[in-house]
Amino acid sequence: MVNKDRAPLVLVGVDGSDHAQAALEWAAAEAVRRDAPLRIVHALGMPLIVSAYGGPVRFEPSEEIQGQATEVLRDAVAHVAKVEPAARTETVTALEEAPLALLRQSHPHDLIVIGTRGLGTVKSLFVGSVSVRVAAHAPCPVAVVPSHEGKPATTGLKRIVIGVDGSPNGNRALGLAVDLAAQSEGELVVVHSWEVPYPYDPVALTAAGYRPQEDLFERQSEELVAGLLAEAIDQQRDDVDIDVTVVRTQNGPVNAILEAAEGADAIVVGSRGRGTVRGLLLGSVSQGVLHQSKIPVIVLPKHADEDE
């Protein structure tokens, strides 16, 4: 049972992989920035024993497995002390699988940090199953940090990119992005992409020199973003440096967000927006950004903060 009255934490899952080390470095820097403890979690994923005479229980780890877990956590703490000496660390060894372990440890005021893929994931997946499951179901924001093949992780939030679409979860994600930019005294880039919908043919319109409908769509897009920003800033901060990008695209919102994120430090997305594909744990846009981004992506799950 998680104590919801405790101070906020930054939680990071580690397993000894390069992906986890990149997440650990990013999480340590963010914990120092927030002046929050860094809780390092290592999940053993011990199998369940099911009995007809009682509830399921998990196998206890052998001395060898427990020793390996201790070594993983000890190495993680030593690495944090080297890259972020000011970080205050604590460690947890969990018997359950990594997604469940991280979800059980977290509450709405926390931040969970995970690598794009760790040990035991399917190589054919662009993003590991752990990161997708946690980002879809966490009660708090989740930062998914890509590996940089042994190079130090890029830390800091001086330039944050967010894609907006007017959906409720997207609007909440905008609020989170505004808050993060204000806390880090950084720049916020707000991206909204639009397409000329059927039955309008943009090629034929342009060839004919006739663009009233296209101008209308662009103006509506600009008004949508202005309204969303006015509400977000009014509710939170008015001291954020904001750059708005309204772009017509035939390649969809994922490419528009990724193009705007060149040189940025992080992307913020809601877990579900408009036009998502049924059956996905995450919406199609957030899933696409996670699959392709080379910088950390901060996901605000659909149900985050609802129990506050």
pLDDT tens, residue by residue, 77-109:
999 999 999 999 999 999 999 899 999 999 999
pLDDT band at residue 25 using 50, 70 and 90 as cut-offs:
very high
Per-residue pLDDT at 234: 65
The contacts of residue 49 (CB under 8 Å, 6+ apart) are 56, 57, 58, 59
Per-residue pLDDT at 78: 97
Per-residue pLDDT at 272: 63
Mean pLDDT for the stretch of residues 204-216: 56
Q: What is the pLDDT of residues 290-307, one digit of tens each?
A: 888 999 999 998 766 554
Single-letter amino acid code for the residue at 245: T
Determine the distance from the C-alpha atom of residue 302 to the mean position of all C-alpha atoms in its chain, rounded to a whole number: 12
Looking at the chain, the whole-number percentage of residues with pLDDT higher than 90 is: 39
Per-residue pLDDT at 133: 83
DSSP 108: T
Looking at the chain, the whole-number percentage of residues with pLDDT higher than 70 is: 74
DSSP codes joined into one string, 132-176: HHHHHH-SS-EEEE---TTSPPP---SEEEEE--S-HHHHHHHHH
Mean pLDDT for the stretch of residues 16-22: 86
Per-residue pLDDT at 149: 61
Distance, in Å, from the CA atom of 263 to the CA atom of 136, rounded to the nearest integer, reads 26
pLDDT band at residue 125 using 50, 70 and 90 as cut-offs:
very low
77-91, 189-203, 241-255: segment of lowest average pLDDT: 189-203
Per-residue pLDDT at 298: 95
pLDDT band at residue 159 using 50, 70 and 90 as cut-offs:
very high
pLDDT band at residue 176 using 50, 70 and 90 as cut-offs:
very high
Query: Whole-number mean pLDDT of the chain?
Result: 80
Per-residue pLDDT at 196: 59
Mean pLDDT for the stretch of residues 31-53: 90
Nearest to 101 by CA among 44, 148, 63: 44
> Angle, nearest 10°, between helix axes 63-83 and 18-34?
50
The yes-or-no verdict on residue 223 having pLDDT over 90 is no
The yes-or-no verdict on residue 112 having pLDDT over 90 is yes
The yes-or-no verdict on residue 211 having pLDDT over 70 is no
Q: What are the structural domains of the chain?
A: 10-145 (3.40.50.620), 159-300 (3.40.50.620)
Mean pLDDT for the stretch of residues 128-142: 84
